[in-house]
């Protein structure tokens, strides 16, 4: 016999696999609960009193932004080398890339933190980045494998990092 917890996790998996919704939803986006940490393989951590959420699943940039917002958070705006390194330490075991709120969708080559409207002052670009490859890269992802940033197509699916509002 299956426990309630096993059935619940299986139902979440089936919902994610089939693209259906469970709980609150907007534009086909899956939101389970209103608290970080409700999705399997997601983690939370705190740096200097600020709470962060790391997704265990991949979404495109717009859906990642909405997912953070639905949890009362926002896609992360990395404002210092110290914050960048602290976040990388938290995700170092995961070789994924993670969406941040950085974008140049408003003006090509001028990156801002979408969540704050501030220009990206601190940056940690990989060599040759940002390059707007094929003219379609407008969102910043953090690569935990190289510890550097890359501009990427916003429609690609990546894991994402949210921070407390």
Q: Which two tokens stand for residue 115?
A: 């969540």
User: Does residue 11 fall inside a structural domain?
Assistant: no
Residue 104: name the closest of 150, 146, 140 by CA: 140
Are 76 and 47 in contact by the 8 Å Cβ rule? The answer is no
**pLDDT by residue (tens digit) across 67-82?**
999 999 999 999 999 9
User: Does residue 19 fall inside a structural domain?
Assistant: no
User: Does residue 18 fall inside a structural domain?
Assistant: no
User: Does residue 23 fall inside a structural domain?
Assistant: no
User: Does residue 43 fall inside a structural domain?
Assistant: yes
Q: Which domain holds residue 65?
A: 33-164
pTM: 0.76
CATH assignment of the domain containing 107: 3.10.100.10
Domain count of the chain? 1
User: Does residue 62 fall inside a structural domain?
Assistant: yes
Query: What is the full per-residue pLDDT of the chain (165 aa) written as tens digits?
Result: 544 344 433 344 433 444 433 333 334 443 433 344 445 689 999 999 999 999 999 999 999 999 999 999 999 999 999 999 999 999 988 889 999 999 999 999 999 999 999 999 999 999 999 999 999 999 999 998 888 999 999 999 999 999 998
The residues near 52 (Cβ < 8 Å, ≥ 6 apart) are 44, 45, 46, 76, 87, 90, 161, 162, 163, 164
């Amino acid at each position: 016999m299956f426990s309630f917890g096993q059935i619940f996790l299986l139902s979440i998996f089936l919902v994610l696999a089939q693209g259906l919704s469970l709980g609150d939803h907007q534009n086909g986006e899956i939101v389970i609960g209103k608290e970080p940490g409700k999705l399997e393989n997601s983690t939370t951590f705190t740096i200097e009193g600020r709470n962060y959420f790391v997704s265990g699943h991949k979404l495109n940039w717009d859906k990642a932004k909405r997912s953070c917002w639905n949890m009362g958070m926002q896609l992360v705006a990395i404002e210092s080398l110290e914050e960048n390194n602290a976040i990388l330490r938290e995700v170092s075991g995961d070789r994924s890339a993670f969406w941040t709120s950085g974008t140049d969708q408003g003006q090509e080559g001028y990156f801002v933190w979408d969540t704050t409207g501030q220009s990206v002052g601190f940056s940690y670009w990989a060599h040759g980045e940002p390059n707007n490859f094929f003219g379609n890269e407008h969102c910043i992802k953090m690569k935990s494998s190289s510890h550097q940033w890359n501009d990427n197509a916003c429609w690609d699916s990546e894991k994402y990092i949210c921070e407390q509002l």
